[in-house]
Amino acid sequence: MMETLLLGLSEVSNINVLLAILIGALIGVTIGSIPGLEPAGVMAILLPLSFSMEPLAGVTLLLGVYGGAWYGGAIPAILMNTPGTPVAVLTTYDGYPMAKRGEGKKALSIAYTASFVGGIISVMSLVLLAPLLSQIATHFGSAEFAMLAVLGMIFVVLAHRKHVLEAAMMLGLGIFLGTVGLDRSYNTQTYTFDQEWLLGGIPLVPAVIGLFAMSQAFVLLSQKGGDSQVTKLTGDGFFGGALTLLKHKITVIRSATLGVVMGLLPGVGEFGSQFFSYTLAQKFSKNPENFGNGEPAGLIASETSNNAVTASVMIPLLAFGIPADALMAMLLAVFMVHNYIPGPTLFAERPEFISGLYISLFMMNVIVFLYLSVATRWIVNLTRIRGRFIGAFILVLGFIGSYSQNYQFSDALIALGFAIFGYMLRKNDIPAVPIILGLVLGPVFLTRFKQALGVSNGDLTIFLTRPISLTLLSLTVGSILIYAWSQLKNRQTVTP
């Protein structure tokens, strides 16, 4: 254990890794502070750059952006009533009223401290749970991995509560897109329409850049309005948040636990955990009527839970190689480029990488917390940058990101195609995340499905006769039935 820790420390002490942690964290905070700019888009742009870095540096750069953004998202949420990231929506409910009544600094301090506690608990859960689950993964065969991929896809679809049909549509599209290209088993072409550039399949990086970054640029370019209205930063210093958190320790523990658990479930993520934490905090509060009017417990529940997801969401990826969301799918791409296959073998063969990853995540949380505690008064100015200006440059960055991986202009045009489609999806409230999950998990499912049936000579009962596979299948069917039942119940409640 100590030896692995030392190995990890030596990995992290590499200057490239340290720079990646620092730059990733600072970029993340910046993105979070600018309303309208999402970490997924920026991570997509940075993805090709991370391929050329050392594995740990590449992964920590992206994780820094991912984790930092959730911290920074609280700034515009509290000072402008505009969430910097989508998961900071609930932070506006109590953070903004606090800022309005002159407690801006206190609200920010609470948000940072709650995020820090959530982030650290999340890293600890990753350290404890990932190796444990990876041990379970050693008992997995093709049938189990196929069923796990199905469960992951079903969870992603069901997580889009009000848009389940749309999410299922997009998942189907993603699965289809994942099959385009050369079929290696028989050397035949699948839906290439004799186009040479499609032989290698739909490239993940341009697809992600188009769907998340460039489509967001179109949204920003169509923004109207002048300077943002930022509430003045007033109140006590930045270090009083810890005391408030101590007063609400039960809320902190409950929200962090919920965040960790929700992070384990593919597709549920930060918003799901934030929603449940906030609702429970209000239910168990002595002053539920204060929620929405500047109640610190609401702010704590919201910020602790969304940051408690950031590391635990990596557990399914590290243990099973199953990405829980589009951001983790991007991380999986970095792993694959460096031939690091997530799963039990990674823990056995690369303990220094895993240990280095844990330490980097811990350091990232500390750096972001310290940076925000000191530099908020300057970071606030970022909220004044006009969306149209950012939008124009996201398109340029989208070009660099999609082109620089293979140095082909066609990749930038593929990104443009996905951007237009992504913009259409945004306009119609159709989720784009399932496309990426389908694109990544679809081929995993199909390969494992074929392998499993190959073992059983085409006998489909292989998925029922193996206990873990049967359990995963039961979970899948159970989740669908529970969703269908809840929908039916809702309909009966609405209809008199």
Partner 1 sequence: MNATDSPLDKPAGPASSDAGDAASAEQDTPFTEQRTFGIYWLLLAVAAALLILLPEEAKWVTTKRGWYTQPMIGPAIGLSVLMIFTAVRLMISFRLIWLRSIDPIDSLLDTLSNYRVALFSSALFFLYINTLSVFGFALATLMFVTTLLWLSRLLDRFWFACTLGTVSALILIFRVGVSVWLPDVWLYELLPEDLATFANQYL
Q: Is 396 in the site for partner 1 (CB under 8 A)?
A: yes
Distance CA 59, CA 321 (A): 15
Q: Left if phi > 0, otherwise alpha if psi is -120 to 50, otherwise beta: which for 234?
A: beta
3-state secondary structure of 118: helix
Nearer to partner 1, 98 or 217 (CB): 217
Nearer to partner 1, 260 or 432 (CB): 432
Q: Is 100 in the site for partner 1 (CB under 8 A)?
A: no
Which string of x and - marks every residue 17-56 that binds partner 1 (by CB under 8 A)?
A: ------------------xx------------x--x----
CA 156, 261, 93 angle in degrees (round to 5)?
85
- Write out the DSSP string of 389-444: HHHHHHHHHHHHHHHTTTT-HHHHHHHHHHHHHHHHHHHTT--SHHHHHHHHHHHH
Window of 98-106, 120-128, 165-173, 238-246 that interacts with partner 1 by CB under 8 A: 165-173
Number of residues that bind partner 1 (CB under 8 A): 107
CB of 175 to partner 1, least distance (A): 3
CB of 252 to partner 1, least distance (A): 19
Nearer to partner 1, 212 or 347 (CB): 212
Nearer to partner 1, 4 or 290 (CB): 290
Distance CA 104, CA 91 (A): 13
CB of 323 to partner 1, least distance (A): 12
Q: Is 389 in the site for partner 1 (CB under 8 A)?
A: yes
CB of 176 to partner 1, least distance (A): 3
- Residue that has been written with the tokens 């003045």 in this structure: 232
Closest of 164, 204, 146 to residue 335, by C-alpha: 204
| Cα dihedral 435, 50, 387, 390 in deg (nearest 10) | -130
Q: Which of 82, 115, 305, 469 binds partner 1 (CB under 8 A)?
A: 82
Distance CA 33, CA 484 (A): 39
Which string of x and - marks every residue 123-162 that binds partner 1 (by CB under 8 A)?
A: ------------------------------------xxxx
Q: Is 171 in the site for partner 1 (CB under 8 A)?
A: yes
> CB under 8 Å to 151, separation ≥6 — which residues?
266, 472, 475, 476, 479
CB of 8 to partner 1, least distance (A): 28
Nearer to partner 1, 152 or 178 (CB): 178
Query: Tokens in use for 225?
Result: 């309005």
Site residues for partner 1, window 193-212 (CB under 8 A)? 193
Is-contact 70 310, C-beta < 8 A? yes
Nearer to partner 1, 127 or 385 (CB): 385
Nearer to partner 1, 212 or 369 (CB): 212
Distance CA 233, CA 388 (A): 26
Q: Which of 386, 468, 475, 479 binds partner 1 (CB under 8 A)?
A: 386
Site residues for partner 1, window 279-308 (CB under 8 A)? 279, 282, 288-289, 291-293, 298
Closest of 174, 63, 157 to residue 440, by C-alpha: 174
Site residues for partner 1, window 397-456 (CB under 8 A)? 397, 399-400, 403-404, 407, 409, 412-413, 416, 419-420, 423-433, 438, 442-443, 446, 449-450, 453-454
Site residues for partner 1, window 346-385 (CB under 8 A)? none
Which string of x and - marks every residue 213-232 that binds partner 1 (by CB under 8 A)?
A: ----xx--xx----------
Nearer to partner 1, 1 or 492 (CB): 492
Site residues for partner 1, window 316-345 (CB under 8 A)? 325-326
Q: State CA 410 to chain mean position distance.
A: 28
Distance CA 49, CA 65 (A): 13
- Write out the DSSP string of 429-494: T--SHHHHHHHHHHHHHHHHHHHHHHHTTT-TTHHHHSHHHHHHHHHHHHHHHHHHHHHHHHHHHH
Query: Tokens in use for 194?
Result: 């004799």
183 pairs with which residues across the strands? 188
Nearer to partner 1, 191 or 239 (CB): 191
